[in-house]
A = this chain, B = another copy of it.
């Protein structure tokens, strides 16, 4: 009864116990169609693997085959929130079905090439990362380290990589169009001051502007931090204007900002939607708990995000390369009208 700290079992151990060669173990466990192995032998191998608790060594396999089977998802979950969290499960299942292993790699603190280097060390077959992180140098590094598919996520099309796009402009456009439909004529759109959100805010603003322009209106840009005092100040600033100059329809970037703004408006005695109609984005569960209930643009990915996964898979097996600039999948938007507008 040796009490060695039981080194993990290798395929050689399995072979020894089953009384066959290591190659046979490999044939049986991956059941290669080419190799014909006796039924009895297979059973013995399987049994031996079972009793030893054998688990193949992913590193060794990837070193031998030259493919890690790793799909690296490098998204910062926190800010993106709900949307990404929901997508994750589906994405994981879809990749797993095709034999890949989806792994998430935060590293929000590493920038640019440094992050890319960290990713590249794992030799993933694919990297899916927020588009803004995929600088030219980063993409070059990934490509040269053997990554077969580099996909941007979140922002608009990029000239560097294929992307899965959230069309922020459409979100803004949907919201602005809705506010106009509800009879609002003096529109405003919040742009968050927070770095990392601002870019998306500008995209949404641009969409709102386009929709407004098509209807002969303009959109007032309001930069706002996620802070109660700032919100109160913004509301006070509006109230100090002539009534005819105050916005009467506000797209608040997202539901969080919309709720912030709604509380500031109600505190100041501004009626919602009477004086100001409000629309957010994300369709948070909490959006239904405000009074009035919050109108919101719901953003959701196409079911198992099949387009993306299939395209990545094809690129990995080098059937069809991913073209820079290509849009692999587009997140869907829909306006959920409630009482705040």
Contact = CB atoms under 8 A, between A and B. Distances in A.
Give the one of A57, A266, A284 with max B CB within 10 A: A57
Summarize A's interface: helix, strand, loop or mixed: helix
Contacts of A285: 226, 256, 260
B89 A108 contact: yes
Nearest to A120: B55
Contact of A117 (B55, B122, B284): B55
Given A55-B117, A63-B57, A260-B289, A146 B8 contact: yes
Give the one of A56, A85, A226, A260 with max B CB within 10 A: A85
B106 A105 contact: no
Contact of A59 (B63, B92, B104): B63
Contact of A77 (B55, B88, B93): B88
Given A123-B8, A266-B291, A55 B145 contact: yes
Given A145-B8, A263-B291, A103 B105 contact: yes
Given A88-B78, A146-B7, A286 B266 contact: no
A62 interface: yes
Contacts of A108: 89, 92
Interface residues of A, number: 59
Given A7-B146, A88-B78, A121 B63 contact: no
17 contacts: A9-B144, A53-B140, A57-B63, A58-B123, A59-B63, A59-B68, A59-B122, A60-B63, A77-B88, A78-B86, A92-B106, A92-B107, A101-B121, A103-B104, A103-B105, A104-B104, A267-B291
Given A102-B106, A104-B104, 20 more contacts: A55-B145, A56-B121, A58-B121, A58-B122, A59-B59, A60-B63, A88-B106, A89-B108, A92-B106, A92-B107, A92-B108, A96-B107, A101-B118, A103-B103, A103-B105, A256-B285, A259-B286, A267-B291, A286-B286, A289-B290
